[in-house]
């Protein structure tokens, strides 16, 4: 019986790339069946791209401003992703909404700093604190056309501590978020020889 090959994962980043770094660190283990084949971004000059470049991983930048509208950008981004033939696309702190060209041709997963369906959107940690919840956490989910509405793949809880600020709570969520992603990614992206027949 043939062993499954390492899954080809393409990561999209918009900032410092700490989620990406956690995955890249895991990839140094030969038993971790994930290969990050490329890292894409919507802007130049970010640490997420530098993390990939320092490891010799191909990178690309596809800024929205280079296109007449979001639809054209989405099509261009889809073409850039297609060129690397990934099995899975990881949105690792990518702060742009993906459109039908990308989502129609690739399985995309994303992490979110709340226990979805609670607190979707860009201000999840702030919103959780404002609502006074005692427990929040993080979610790994498939990306669909909505905002943080895709099927949930994994979740982990994080207690809200007395005196927590948005920053202190978010930092603790990020630690758990990275652990969750690293643990789940090989199973999500696994490719068996029959898949390629």
Active site includes 141? no
- What secondary structure does DSSP assign to the chain, as a single string? -PPPBPEEEEEEESS--HHHHHHHHHTTSTTS-EEEEEEEESSSS-HHHHHHHHTT--EEE--GGGSSSHHHHHHHHHHHHHTT--SEEEESS--S---HHHHTTS-EEEEESS-TTSS-STTHHHHHHHHT-SEEEEEEEE--SSSS-SPEEEEEEEEPPTT--HHHHHHHHHHHHHHHHHHHHHHHH-B-GGGG-
Catalytic residue among 67, 84, 112, 123: 112
Query: Among all residues, which ones are annotated catalytic?
Result: 112
């Amino acid at each position: 019986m043939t062993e499954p090959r390492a899954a080809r994962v393409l990561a999209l980043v918009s900032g410092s790339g700490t989620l990406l770094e956690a995955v890249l660190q895991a990839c140094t283990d030969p038993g971790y069946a994930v290969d990050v084949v490329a890292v894409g971004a919507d802007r130049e000059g970010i640490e997420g791209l530098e993390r990939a470049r320092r490891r010799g991983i191909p990178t690309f930048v596809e800024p929205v401003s280079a296109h007449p509208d979001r639809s054209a950008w989405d099509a261009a981004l889809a073409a850039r992703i297609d060129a690397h033939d990934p099995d899975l696309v990881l949105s690792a702190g990518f702060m742009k909404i993906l459109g039908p060209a990308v989502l129609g041709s690739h399985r995309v997963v994303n992490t979110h700093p709340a226990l979805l369906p609670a607190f979707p959107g860009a201000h999840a940690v702030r919103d959780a604190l404002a609502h006074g919840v005692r427990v929040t956490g993080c979610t790994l989910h498939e990306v669909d056309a909505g905002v943080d509405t895709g099927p949930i793949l994994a979740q982990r809880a994080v207690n809200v501590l007395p005196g927590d600020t948005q920053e202190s709570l978010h930092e603790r969520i990020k630690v758990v978020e990275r652990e969750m992603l690293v643990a789940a990614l090989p199973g999500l992206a696994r490719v068996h020889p029959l898949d390629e027949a």
